[in-house]
Structure formats: C-alpha cells, structure tokens
Structure 1
C-alpha cells in the first residue's frame, strides 16, 4: 500500500519585500511549526516499500556524494539532486545497521544544508528552506557588477490552474545546467543570477518562462489541451496536432480498451475521418476490409501500410488455404494476431506529407501501431479480467403452415404433381413439425474470456514492461468450437547516465489456435424447411431421414459439416531493437532493427461419417497446409535538431533495407480405409501436392525530411525518398517520391489576437506530394513455370509448364496527393474543429490485363494509361460542453464525404474491361440489368433492354443490356461519440453511420419461391393472380420462372439495395472504486465495467447485417461483456 506525502501542508511565504526583525522572528515560528507538521505527516504516510529496504554502511569523513551512491545501490532508489547542491555538502560520519531508507536519510542529512522527499522510487534532494533570511540572502552585488553577476535566492510555489500544488515540477535556468524540482507541497528554492530566465516544465502542462529578478516567484502552470498537445506518432518521429502539417489522426489505448474486440482495427470504426473499415463476418477469423481515402488501384493491393513499433507488418491476407471458401467472409486478417491490450496508440497517416517518407509502401496510407512501454516510477501490476456473451440477430422466416402453402402453390402454378422426392410435402416428413433452425444451428451463445496482466516500472535510466494475455472465444454453433489466443509482450528501455546512449528492445509473441467447422451453418439455418426431420435419432446418432424399410435417405444433416473439422494454428512474432547515440548536442545517430514472422499450420479432416450413408464412394481425406511470411528490416538514421531564439528545425536522413519471404505448402491425402487414420497424413495411400510456392521480395530506399518551425507560427516540412523494389525489371526498379507541406498558425498573429476573443487556436495546412505502388505478385516481370504433377512418358520425369507471362517493362504506379486543411480552437480550445479537403490521383495503373485464350495465358501484369481520382471532405469536431469537478462531458463527431471515379482510361472501349469500368464512374461499380419488378400479367420478373423494351425472356437480353450502373462505394460515413463522467461513473458510447448501397442477396441464397427451401416472411408479398402488384414473382419452378430468376434476376439491380445503417458500435459504463476503499484494499486503482458491441442497428436493409452483406454467413455478433481492471 502506498501512502503519499500530503499536499495540503505548505509554506505560504511571500518574499515580496524585506521583512522587519520582528516579522522575521514571527516568520521563523510559523515556518518551524509547519515544518514540524510536514515532517510528522511525512513520517505517517511514507510508503511501506520504503521501510522494507534496509541500509547498512559505515562512513568516516566520506563525501556526501559517495554516501548517496551507496544508498542508491543498496535501496535501488534513484536520486535527483540539484547540480550545484553537493558543493556545499559536509563530510559524513555515521554508522548504519539495517536502517530503513527514511531512517538512513534522516541521519545522513542531519547536519547537512539539505533535505529530501521520496516520490515513488525517486529521492529528491533539495536545499533546506531558510527562515532567517536577510536582504543579502535575496540579492548580493559583486562589486556593483552587471545583472549577470548578481546572485539571487529564488523561492516560491508552483500550482495548477485549480490551485493544487504540483510536485516534481522541473525548474531550470534557461541555457544553463542549474535546476531543481518542487517538493510535495509545490515549493522550491533555487540559487541563480538575477539575469537568468527560469523554465518551469511539467509533463501534461504548458511550460512557462519567468525572469529571476524577483525574490519570490509563485507560478501557475496550465494543463495542456489534450487534443492539441498530445504526442502523435508519425513516420520516424513524433509531433503534436498544434504544430503538425500532416493530415493524421490518433486513437489512444483508453479508447481501444473500452471495446471488446479481438482485432484492433475494429476499434477504429467510426472514429477516424477518411478511414473506412468493414467487418465481413462474425467468425473470429473474419476478414476486415480497410481503405484510407478511397481505392487508388484498379486491381492491385489497396491495403494501407502497417507499422508496429517501427517494424513493417504484413497486410497480406492469411486466408485459410483449406477452407475453400466454405465460410463466406473468412479471411484471416493479420491484424487479428496483435493483442489490442498491448497497444498504446494507433495513428492513421493519410496525406502525402505524412506518408511520402515511407515511399511506395504507403501509397494507400499508413497505420502506425505503438505498443505500451514502461514508465519511470513505482512498479505497477495491471490485471484485467473480462467475460462476455455474444449472439446474432435473426431473420423472420416462414412457419410450416405458410411454407407448405408456398410449396403447394408452386406445384399448382406449374401444373406439376407432387413427386417422390418432395419429402417435405409428400408425407415422408412430419408436416406438423415447425423447427426454428436459426435457434438450433446458430442460436447458441458465444462466450468470451479475456485475461490480461502486465508489470511495469523503472527508474530514471531504465524502464520496463512485461505482460501476457489469454483470450478464448467460442461460437454460436452447436459443438465445441473456439478460437484461443495466448500472447506475451515486453519492452525494455535504457538511457545512459550522460543521456547520450539509448537502447530500446521490444517483442511480441501471439499464438492463435483456431478450431472451426469447415462450413458456415448460417445458410442451412435460413434455408432448411421448417418441417425437416430432427437432427438426432433417439440413440443420439445423426439423423439422415432414412425411410423405414428402404435405403433412401431424405435429409442432408447440417451437423455433418461439424464432423469435417478444421484446425489452424498461427503464431506471430514481432521484434524490434532501437539503438541511438547523441554524438554532439542535437546530432543523433540511430539504428532500428526489426523482425516479423507470421506462420500458420492448418489441417482439415473429412471423415466418411460426415456424409450421408447413401454415399458409397470412399471420400475420406485429410489436408495440411503450412504458410509463412517472414520479414526483416534494418534502418540506420541520422537526426539533427537545432533550436534558435525564434525557431527550430529538425533534419532526418536514413536508409531502409527490407526483405520479405513467403512460402506455402499444401498437401492432400486420400484413400484412407477408416476415419481413424485421418490424423496421420503419412498413412494416406494417395498424396498430392496442391501448392508449393516460395517467393522473396526485397526493398531498399533512402529518405530524408526537414521540418522548420519559425516562432511557433510558420511550419514547413520537406520529405523525399528514393525506393527500389525487386518486383520490377532492372531498368525500372527505382523511383523518387517527395512531399512539401506548410502550416500557418494564424492565431499567433497579432492582428488575430487583437480582433477576436473567441478563437483560441487557428492553423491552415497545405501539402502536396507523390507516392508509388508496387503491389503486384513477386516475379511478375519474369516468365513463371509450374510443375506438371503427372508422369510424362519420357523417362518418367516431371515436366514444367509456363504459368505466367513475363513483362520486364512493368513500372511503378504513381499517386499524387493534395491536401488542404484547417484546425480551429474556439473558447479556449473547448471546441476543436478539423477540416480536410483532399484530391488524390493514381496513374500508370498496374492490372492483370485479360488475354485471349490463343495466347495460352489468362492474363498478363502490365501498366495501363488509366487514372483514378479520390476526392473528398473530412470534418471532425471535438467539444467539452461540461468540465468541472463533478461532471465531465466530451463529445466528438466526424464525417467523411468521399468521391471515387476513373478520370482517364485510354482505349477502354476497345478492351474487355469496358464491361467492368466506366470513365467518370467509381472503381467499385456493377453493371446490371435494369429491373422493372414483377409483371402483373405473367407473374415473372421483368427487365429492361437497352432499347427500352420490357421482357422476362432470357433470350431477349445480352450483356450489352446491362446498362444500369450500381455504385457500391459509401457516399458518406462517420461517427458520433460521447464520454460522460459523473463522479466515479463514466459512460462512453459511439454511434457509427454509413450511407451506402450494398449487395442484397435477397433471393440469390434463399432461392426461388416454391423451391424446397425456406423463405423470409416477405415472400408472402408474391404474385398469385393476374393484375397482382407484388414484390416477388409467382411460386413455381417452370422453365420461364427459373430462367427469369437464374439468368436475369440474380444479375439485375434488384440484387442491390440501400444498405445504409446507424449502429451503436460500442457502449461502455465504468465505475471507479473510491480512494478509501482502495487504501483499505491496498490497491492503487480498481474499475468495474460493462461493455457492449453492435447492440443496436437501425437500417432498412433486407438481410441480417448491412455491413457484412452476406445472408449466408455469420453476421457480426452482438456482444456484452463485464469485467474488472486493477492496478496493484
């Protein structure tokens, strides 16, 4: 338990005039009384850890410095001493035997002109406050010399703007080494010359400079505006929003930890303007689509550049090789293998000023992830425990009565009799059954268990952090399926005594064990007839709907998919070492060494028992696949900083050397004689290699950046980079990229200060620059060959066949970015507004260009003369409507209005790509048949030809009649968040909104009305008789109905609808335990919380989820968690 030194007892002494003899005598009594009270309270509230350390030493005429060094070694405590204090020290004579640290210090300083305080694990030594002061003590003249030789003893108190004393405030003489720190009551004393300027600085507060011409100086420090002055991580450095010239946004750990997500990208949804994130599945390994300021490429990589603690992190999708698309939306986002609890902040870089120094790798923006680091101070143990539950929303489906009516109606419309295979209506199945298959197959409750712990601390020179975590997520499917993650994370930082050499080592390891079914049961849950047989027989075996006395099986049991098991094991290692040395004041040499390896091992088992007994063919099989992506990075850098009276500049130059290796090996075994053999693929009679690929990507570049800040009013940033890639031929491997940016803090202009009192901060920003893109497959400039896995008659050798056409003329895509921004602070920065207008143009597009079959190749990688433009407006406002001791209310809102279109495509009309792209329209468009609804006469779906004719005849329409263009890009998106704190309660919630058109999948999955599968209740609005106005065509499976559905309806505009939504993305309620309870429990901090994710969605979308837009796949879960967070 930690007892802090009281801050209410202070020395309220003001030396604004020289006191008289009588007043000095009274003053001595007051000071003595307060000193006695201070020491008494200090002894009562000193930390228990201090007394646990024991000091033993003997000193005989030993210099005080050596004695303190001995105490430091025995206790582990650091000392903070005024640089000139020990010059006046006296030799020490004493003997200590098993004394506590305070007892030892009391004896050491007994006859010294110093005193001490203990803050955490730091012992602050300051000069004793003098009470018998005279005029000479405040101001002495050296032979009547100038001010530079006048010596003054300055003392006073430092407080915050609420009147609370600040302990540990650094007080330094500007341009010199003399300094001190404030005591627990905020007081200080300092000897310096009268001409000196004192600099008062404290973490989280604005620094102040004060002339030392007065005998007593009381200083009030104002807290930094957290939005303008918080540190933001940028490429190869840091900045603040106040002085930054870039379009960047940062989300901190506090925000991330309030959301029960296993993929940190999902914590950014709705919080960062210009960043669009789409969750495609509710599966734990589900893919996440990410774009920054739109899509820049026609067909190549559009993922942003990810950097974790300075180490490039692969954005490449680790899609399960063995799933074969059985689970829609699964993709294995690599960010799912980073523990959100280990993250300190995530910064999104958007414009050229922020990304150009990364060159080609950041053509689509960059996302920088900074993990948590240790901090100097008392050792802390953090413990977070969380458990929760998740479920999915349901669709309204037909009950048995309505379903059977629909089926029989179809038979009547088709003039067709009930066949022997119509088990649902011919009496084989029990027509009185009414099973809710959504409840049976996907109606379970997913469980979440999350345990995170860490220990951190350190002294002035060395800080550390080490932590670990465990996360288990189950599924809503029946059975024991789960995704289990275990991770460790550490960071060690050391700074030499002379502050010249620094080293930081960090590492993260995460192991993910994924046990899933090989198929998503969502489609069966929606389509199984409600009168289908039960899942199990009376003996507990799977029911296949066998007709008694026959070998006929009428039911494909959906639980059979759960017997076809999938197990995936993925491990992710990220390591980074930073070394730096201060060669000269302001000149620093550093090197960053990074390593990242993601490896996955998969196995899929397909037993014979997972198929109907009617299946007599041996289809037992097992498959294994091993994938790995390994990269290393070396980045030496030189940085030079220089401060001037009215400005400063920073010059950075460096080089990057990176290598990435990819490998895939997939093998399938078949012909097993029994299911028990499946676990050992080596026992398979037949083995085949499905994939055996290896590739190496090498990249290097040189870069530089200059930042000049003139008088905290004008800021200019210049950046450049020359990149080289192994993906192009030797003549085109290198390219140059650059950016130039400027910022004008016009609120610092005198004419602005004189004419407005509302505006407290104002800045204009302008940036322009270029980046590149080489995101094509490795070796695309070479002719590639594959093994022919058949035995060639000649000498039984394995042959080779070409698989990819060479193109040695491939070049970089080029993206030019323009950004105009404004930052405003209103009412003393209680309201902050940020606006950005951007125009990005990407040309010389790299695509897989289709080739005719006569060439023997399907496509060739090449550059085409096409340009994509992304233009948009980003707006964000942050406000603090209420901020006092009882209530704090923060609100933040943002919106992005993007526009994506192809502005140039040379000879597009002469290529097959004209069926996919249109000049003047977005990249993500779909050409479909215009849909006219259901014909009142025929009851069939009707469509419009290019000539304007209505038809339901498949032979009347060709691909040229697909004249309707559907744009599936978001029209606008954003979020509104609120954080309200009332005493010890904190409520935080975020609403995300998206305006978009999405894929409806209205009947593509569910099928035609009248087929042997269940339907949504909306199918009741179907055509039944002539002149009916209906949404769905008539029930039946006639040729005309089938053709109208399969060939036309599924590729018409009817398949797209308004997928806009407003979603309560996250809500969190937190309660902080009282200080009295914490003291009794000997705990530094304790918080109880309840969190919710995706609890409410407002949308007119037809399906289960307007975000993922897959009716046949598991939608994102609605999650509720409870937990406790402790700091010990």
Structure 2
C-alpha cells in the first residue's frame, strides 16, 4: 500500500511538470490571451470536456465545466477543430487578434446520440447496437441525490429494478430485485450480482449473528461501504442476452458499478461539501391519554372485569394525567449529515490519473449521540493511449466505516401507553417505576453496538495488442471486507422487575473477514467479414472467496464498567466460529456479427463450475442468443415515415443458472455439544440440516422482446419491453421428521416460478431553446409473478403458503365476514364446521404484492438554474400495517406494554347493533386471538399500501463566470437537495414502501451544498 501511494504521488508530480512544460508560455510581446466557449447550437447549453485542436500550432485544449477555453496565440490565421460526443465535429477559421468572445456552436448529431458506449461487463456496446436490456444511470444523476448508499440513487429510475430501503438507520439494509423473485427460497437465491470495477462483490451482509436482524444493520448491504460520489456510472443488466455471459452469476440480473477515472487535460481540482438534516417524514395519529384510558376502561367493562394488580396504566400505579408523545420522544430528532469530497485529475492521452478522498458522517433521529461515519479514497491510473500496443489501468477504492448504533430499534416502542412513566428518574437513571416497568425504551441507548469495517476494492487490468485486430486482456481483482464488532448489555439496562444478576451483563466480541481474489484473462478479435463486422471474445474466470466469522460472548462481569475487558468475564462461550471457502471457475465466450450497422446477432456461452455442489454436479452450461434490427434504416421506412428518427426491434432468449446457496450444503456437517452420552461426547447436525450430494443448479430461462422508437430527431424516445423468466429445478429446504435429528434437507424441487411483465420508458424534450430546456421521462413496470408448477406441493411444507397458478406473493387467509354486530368480534368462517379454526379454513387467497411501479423524472434548466425532481409511485397491497401488527383494542401486556392504538380505534364497536370495521375493546386472550386471526391470517390482513412520493428534488445554481474570475475559480455551483420529501398514501403506518412496524422508516433529507472546480 505504501509503495502504491508513493508511485501515485510520483506520477502526479511528473505529470504536473510535464503538463506545465507542454503549456504555451505566458503572454509575451508576440502572444496574446483570448477566451472562448463551446455551446450547443440548439439549447445554448455549455459543453464541458469538448476537445479543441489548433493548427498549425498543434495545441490541444479541453473546455472546463462551463464550456470555456483559453487561447494564447500570436497574430495570424488558425484552424480550430472542435469535437464533442453526440455533436457533429466542426472546423472553423479564426483570425487573431479576436475582437470579441469566441462562441463556437455545435449541432446535435442524432446518429452520435446512439453511439454512446454502454458498459456490458466484459465488453462495451454502443447504444444503437445493443441486443440486450441494459439501463444506465450516470454520475450526474447520482450526484443530485443526498444518499449514502449508491443503490438508493437507482430507486424508481430503472424499469424492472425494485429497490426497497429496509430501514432509516444509517448503513441499514437494502432489498434489491431485478424483474421479480425467481426463487421460492426467500432466504437466498434472489440477489443480483454486483461487479465493482470488474471485481465480484458480496450481495449480502457478512455480519455475525451479533447484528443479524438488528436495526437492519445485520442485513446491511455491503454497497453502503462505497461512496456514491466515487461512482462514474451504474449499469443494470436484465435479460439473457446481457446476463448470460455471467452464467450462474447472472441468474437474478447484474449491477455493474464503475468508479471515476482520470481525464485528459490540465490538472483540475474538484471539491464539494453538503450539510443535511434528516427526520421522519410521516407520523401516526395515535390515541392521547384520555382516549387511551377510555378504551382500556371500556375493555374491562365489556369483559365484566376489574383492573388487576398488573394493569399499571389504569389501576393507579401510573399517573392518569400524564401524556408522552412517544413518537416525538423516540424518533422525533433530527439526524445531521455531512458529506465532503475532493479529487485531483488530469493528464494526457498517454497518462492520466485521479486521486480523490471522501468523508461522510450521519447521525440518527434517536435520543443520544449515535451515528455512522465513512472515510475513503479513490484512485485511478491509466497508462497508454488507445492506439498503443500496451495499456495498463489501475483502480483502487478504500473506505473505513465506523458505526455506533443500538442493539434494538426504539421505533418498536412508539405504541407505549401514553401515560407510561418517564424513562428517567430524578437521578437521571433508567426509571423502572417500582418494578412496574419491564421495558424502558431508553434501555436501548445503553445497549449499544459498535462496528468498524475496512473495505478495499482493487483491480489491475492489462491490455496488449498482439496483432492489428487481436487483443489479450488480463485483469486481477481483489475485494476485502474486514470488520470487528462490540456489543454490550449492561445490567443497568435490565428491568429491576426481572431480578437481573451478573450473568445478565453481556459483552459480545466478533471479527469477520471476507476476501475475494479473482483473475480473468481474455482474448478479443474484431474483423470486417463480408458486408459486416465480426467481433469475438473468449475468456476465463477464476474466483476464490474465504469468509471467516468469529464471535465470543462474555458474561458474569462484576461491574458494567468492565464490559470491554474480556478478561474480567466469568464465562466465555462461542457464538460463531465459521470459516468457509468458495471456489468458482468459468469459461465464457461471445460472438457478435453485424451487417451494414442495422442487423445484429449476438451469441454468448458460458460453462461454470462451483464448489457449492457435490461431485458430478459442479459444472453446468449456460448461454443466450440476441438479435436486433434497426428497421428505421431501411429505405422504405426512411422514405415514407420521415418523422421516425430511430426504430429498432430486438429479442433474446437464454439460460442462466443459480448457485446462491450456503457453502458445503452437499456435505453432512456436524457440531459438537457440551454434553456427553454414556461418557462419549455428543454431536449434532450443524445448522439443523442434513447434507445432500445430489442437488444441483437452479436454471432460469429468460425470454424478451423489445421495441425502441425515436421521433422528430429523437426529441421523443420510447422503449417498450416484454419479458418472461422461468426459474425451475428450485433449491428448497425440505422439512424432515423430528426422528432424523435435523429440521431440513436442501434438495431440488421440480417447481417452476415465472416472472413476466412489461417495462416502458418514455423520454422527450418538452422545451429546447437557447435559455430554456425541459426534459421529461417516465418509466413504468408492470410485473407478473406466478407459480407455474410445484409437483407434490400438497405434501410439502409449502402447501398453505403457495398455490399453483398464483403469485408467490399471496396470502392464504380466513374468510372474515366483518364485525359481528352482536358480539363486537370478527366473524371468521369455519369452512369445515368442525369447531376449530385451522389451515384448512384458510381457503381464500389475496394478493399482497405490486401491481405496477415506476417514476416520473423532470429536468428544467433556465440559464444558470437547474431544477430536477423525481416522483415515484407504486400500486400495491401489504400484509403489514399498525392494525395488523398491534395488540387488539384494550388488550394489555404488562411485560411489553405497546398497547396504544391509531385513532381509527375510536371507531371500534361499543354496543350491540354497531356497524363498524374495528372490533370491541377487550382484555381477555380469546378476544385477542380472534383479532390476530382476522388481522394477521384473515382477509382483513391485506391493506392498500399504494403511494405517490416526491422521491428526490434538487436545485442547482451555477455562479456567473465574471464573479469567479476575480478569485481564479473555474466553476462554482450551489445546490439544494431533498430525498423522500413528501409521501401521499392511505397506508396506516410510518412508511408504505418498507411496511415495517418495528424498524425506523426511510428518512426525509434536506441538504445544501457547494461544489467548486479549480
């Protein structure tokens, strides 16, 4: 590492000296300085990065971020050649001296707009030539959003990509699915493949059992370790043509992340900083103390009972006049967010570099000083021009992440009784109110979890031209995630009513290491054959991964102050001691042939080998074929449909696989027990599972057809896709009888899951003139999921979870016929009339997934102002709401008294004859059971969770150049950004997207920022 940094610094200094040496001398008696600007002829928009070649002086200039350049020339005539991507090149004669600012206007080249290259992983493909489904999000779009996880920058911007932020806690988990859920197994098998700078990157958390499921931290996405400001672009690969080259890795789609690279031109410094504030967007309307106590007393009256000694809220033990807004107390704070970044880049076409650093800090809305911090660096070095025989590239991304968070989420306590005691006593200690409090929401503040993570992603690629059209490329990648955790549970955080002892003082220590090393040699060949161009690629992949987790629990401390000192513990026990290795190898190839730049045929093939399968099952073959036809280039179309600028049909079909299962599942693993039997140490099957050497790969057959259209010089663009993916040979954990000593065995089931649907993208230029530009886009996805077949489902554990011919996201429910006006309880049908409600009576099914989702984007520019906003939407049902997950009205649980209700409980049944949808208040278990059956397993459990959300808004103002010239600044921009700004929904909960009743919802964030270029 030290040597690498020294090389980077040395290269930077050399490049700086070289650049200065190549620059023309400052103005002399024969030379004068002039300025100019390159703009779009149609919109007047500045064109940063335009290349200007000056003859006969042989100078080459690059415009800055405001499209400006400087000329230092002697008097005379010169030719300026100007080039910019997606614009027509222009050559003009210039006479020095200039009399005014030189403005160079370039015309849009609609053909060039289709020439933009898209990253497809092992190769790049031009937009007009792609035969697969690939969506791209640029760094410009990512930079307009105040997010800490780059995945959140994709949300509702890519059709077919469903991203759900599972918690608003910093560093929390993110659920990602591309074109639906392919596997019946919900634990594994549905995550996409992440590739960061050519290196396979973990898709799931590597945390130990200490933080598994805690605050969403245990399920945290490793992508949260990557700073969004370091990213150049993200591509999402969806269909078989795009993903089959990744074989089994691409079964659930592929997300390619490319970090920023060095640029040619003078050395440039770019720095930016934002300060943000986050809080909870929506709050529940809950009963106040008077309404709550009225409900509780009514419950006793309905039951013919009187409050008992443990009914603390109504028996006088707790103040009857006290009111605490627990939402404000527990999750009503403001989380401060600070984000700063800076980078230096520059060079020439032979050598260019980028060195950058970032810092990010985020607090929480919980009481107390908790938070999340990330610092990192990003480096890129590129040696050799494109025409050279040898090219070498190096990328390095390193981050250090620390979090100090809680072991429990206070959000789960917002339904505490409004007259519950104050959390702290007069001495500032946790208040247990004479042993009447069993759960104090502030106890979590003492039960903290600290974690530090080091994340490194490095890649070295070498490209060598063997012959004119034959290239050898080799890349070596390494990814490492190393972390340590400390979790404490002091005795002071335990209720005195539970009589805690020194054994309740617990300290957990954990270390985890996840290291991936991979090598990929490739050969590429390109040749003109007949009327077309032939392109071939063949390569190998070698990947090795080692994952180690070590966790120790220490108990029996004499003092809470000793918890960090593991030597002070009376007892040590092992929680996790895991070491697993994963080996993966593959050979892949691609053959592409295009004729006259309008007919395209693409073949991909791959043979994979995985160490997760037993002998004879380790290898499998995958492949795909894709085709495209640009029919707008046909003479009959050109001559008869002049308003059609671009038209293409494309289709693909292929087979990918899936090996997303735990390591060593084909082996029988054992775990030793502490006890003995007849003097012999005992063992048990590890993780409660029996090994199976006969299971093999899941397979996913993907079919797609798409139409792309451009109208009126591509001012209006439409892409419509239909897809159908069928995943079969499902890897499912089959249940075993207790006599086996194990709970499950992993095996292939001849079940088939189908995901089909429509994706559409429409973008158009509403206004496009010198001062005003308005671009709008809408994307919508209509997904369909179905269990096509499941032989033997009747005898499986899934008999009451799924129905053949129906979506996986259905719920088998009781027939709830509303509230009985005489009893005030839910009327639930006993379909077989046996007097017992069981699974047989759950004969109805209701859909609990998405009908459609998408986003509407707008970008409006007026002179130096730029406004962007995204409105996301989803039509969906949910099985979770605060009616389904809370206690029934009036019910009391003194151990965990989260018994308050939304104000809809005011509409509850109160007397015989009442017609309502809310059951009566009651304290008896039978009434609570009736409520939970109707609300959790009955037809009342399905709620409308549709929403419309102002997902993102950003306003930018670029300071005038004449202001900046005085302080010698090339560019400066002030911004105001917002995320999760406002939500419209009828959902009864904190957030209709996450639909969680115990975790903090995604927060609303407002941030101001400043970006400067020197």
| Equivalent residues of 1:167, 1:186 under 8 A apart | no
| Equivalent residues of 2:110, 2:713 under 8 A apart | no
2:483 counterpart of 1:587: no
CA distance in 2: counterparts of 1:181 and 1:448, whole angstroms: 42
Query: How far is 1:161 from its partner?
Result: 7.2
CA distance in 1: counterparts of 2:587 and 2:161, whole angstroms: 28
Alpha-carbon distance change, 1019 to 72 in structure 1, aligned in 2, over 3 angstroms: closer
SS of equivalent to 2:128:
coil
Instruction: Find the partner of 2:234 among 346, 354, 368.
Output: 346
Give the equivalent residue in structure 2 for 1:203: 84
| Equivalent residues of 2:782, 2:851 under 8 A apart | yes
Give the equivalent residue in structure 1 for 2:481: 598
Query: How far is 1:203 from its partner?
Result: 3.4
2:527 counterpart of 1:639: no
Give the equivalent residue in structure 2 for 1:776: 661
CA distance in 2: counterparts of 1:73 and 1:1105, whole angstroms: 52
2:135 counterpart of 1:249: yes
Instruction: Find the partner of 2:630 among 732, 740, 745.
Output: 745
| Equivalent residues of 1:529, 1:1014 under 8 A apart | yes
Instruction: Find the partner of 1:830 among 710, 715, 719.
Output: 715
CA distance in 2: counterparts of 1:338 and 1:225, whole angstroms: 35
2:496 counterpart of 1:608: no
| Equivalent residues of 1:159, 1:186 under 8 A apart | no
2:216 counterpart of 1:332: no
SS of equivalent to 1:679:
coil
2:967 counterpart of 1:1087: no
CA distance in 2: counterparts of 1:957 and 1:75, whole angstroms: 83
The higher relative CO (CA closer than 8 Å, separation ≥ 6) is in 2
Deviations 1:832-866 (A, max 9, x none): 10011111111111111112222222111111111
| Equivalent residues of 1:281, 1:330 under 8 A apart | no
SS of equivalent to 2:886:
coil
2:813 counterpart of 1:928: yes
Query: How far is 1:676 from its partner?
Result: 1.4
SS of equivalent to 1:915:
coil
| Equivalent residues of 2:685, 2:741 under 8 A apart | no
Instruction: Find the partner of 1:435 among 309, 316, 324.
Output: 324
| Equivalent residues of 1:272, 1:894 under 8 A apart | yes
Query: How far is 1:798 from its partner?
Result: 7.2
SS of equivalent to 1:102:
coil
SS of equivalent to 1:687:
strand
SS of equivalent to 1:229:
coil
Deviations 1:685-732 (A, max 9, x none): 101111211111111111111222222111111111111111112212
SS of equivalent to 1:990:
strand
Alpha-carbon distance change, 716 to 729 in structure 1, aligned in 2, over 3 angstroms: same
| Equivalent residues of 1:403, 1:1014 under 8 A apart | yes
CA distance in 1: counterparts of 2:285 and 2:587, whole angstroms: 59
CA distance in 2: counterparts of 1:961 and 1:373, whole angstroms: 61
TM-score, structure 2 normalization: 0.90
Instruction: Find the partner of 2:189 among 287, 301, 308.
Output: 301
SS of equivalent to 1:360:
helix
Alpha-carbon distance change, 225 to 1030 in structure 1, aligned in 2, over 3 angstroms: farther
CA distance in 2: counterparts of 1:542 and 1:663, whole angstroms: 38
2:829 counterpart of 1:906: no
Give the equivalent residue in structure 2 for 1:1108: 994
Deviations 1:335-369 (A, max 9, x none): 11111110111100001110011110000010000
Deviations 1:798-832 (A, max 9, x none): 75656532222122111111110111110100011
Deviations 1:20-63 (A, max 9, x none): xxxxxxxxxxxxxxxxxxxxxxxxxxxxxxxxxxxxxxxxxxxx
Alpha-carbon distance change, 760 to 371 in structure 1, aligned in 2, over 3 angstroms: same
Query: How far is 1:569 from its partner?
Result: 1.4
Instruction: Find the partner of 1:476 among 355, 362, 365.
Output: 365
CA distance in 2: counterparts of 1:295 and 1:1074, whole angstroms: 50
Identify the range of structure 1 (365-374 vs 909-918) with the bigger mean alpha-carbon deviation.
Answer: 909-918
Give the equivalent residue in structure 2 for 1:521: 410
CA distance in 2: counterparts of 1:412 and 1:448, whole angstroms: 50
5 Å-filtered alignment, 1:444-523, equals: 444-495=333-384, 499-523=388-412
Give the equivalent residue in structure 2 for 1:363: 251
CA distance in 1: counterparts of 2:560 and 2:16, whole angstroms: 66
SS of equivalent to 1:1009:
coil
Give the equivalent residue in structure 2 for 1:979: 859
CA distance in 2: counterparts of 1:603 and 1:185, whole angstroms: 57
2:160 counterpart of 1:274: yes
SS of equivalent to 1:1097:
strand
SS of equivalent to 1:560:
helix
| Equivalent residues of 1:511, 1:571 under 8 A apart | yes
2:962 counterpart of 1:1099: no
5 Å-filtered alignment, 1:648-663, equals: 648-663=533-548
SS of equivalent to 1:327:
coil
| Equivalent residues of 1:245, 1:741 under 8 A apart | yes
SS of equivalent to 2:306:
coil
SS of equivalent to 1:1078:
helix
| Equivalent residues of 1:167, 1:185 under 8 A apart | no
Identify the range of structure 1 (642-651 vs 469-478) with the bigger mean alpha-carbon deviation.
Answer: 642-651
2:637 counterpart of 1:755: no
SS of equivalent to 2:567:
helix
CA distance in 2: counterparts of 1:591 and 1:1091, whole angstroms: 41
Give the equivalent residue in structure 1 for 2:770: 885
Alpha-carbon distance change, 170 to 246 in structure 1, aligned in 2, over 3 angstroms: farther
5 Å-filtered alignment, 1:229-248, equals: 229-248=115-134
| Equivalent residues of 1:318, 1:333 under 8 A apart | no
CA distance in 2: counterparts of 1:185 and 1:1049, whole angstroms: 70
Give the equivalent residue in structure 1 for 2:576: 691
Give the equivalent residue in structure 2 for 1:705: 590
SS of equivalent to 1:913:
coil
Deviations 1:660-682 (A, max 9, x none): 11122111111111111110223
Deviations 1:168-200 (A, max 9, x none): 45799xxxxxx9989989999xxxxxxxxx998
Query: How far is 1:418 from its partner?
Result: 2.1
Query: How far is 1:886 from its partner?
Result: 0.5
| Equivalent residues of 2:623, 2:655 under 8 A apart | yes
Instruction: Find the partner of 2:948 among 1031, 1053, 1062.
Output: 1062
Q: CA RMSD in A?
A: 3.1
CA distance in 2: counterparts of 1:433 and 1:219, whole angstroms: 71
Give the equivalent residue in structure 1 for 2:509: 624
2:702 counterpart of 1:821: no
CA distance in 2: counterparts of 1:481 and 1:187, whole angstroms: 55
TM-score, structure 1 normalization: 0.81
| Equivalent residues of 1:668, 1:688 under 8 A apart | yes
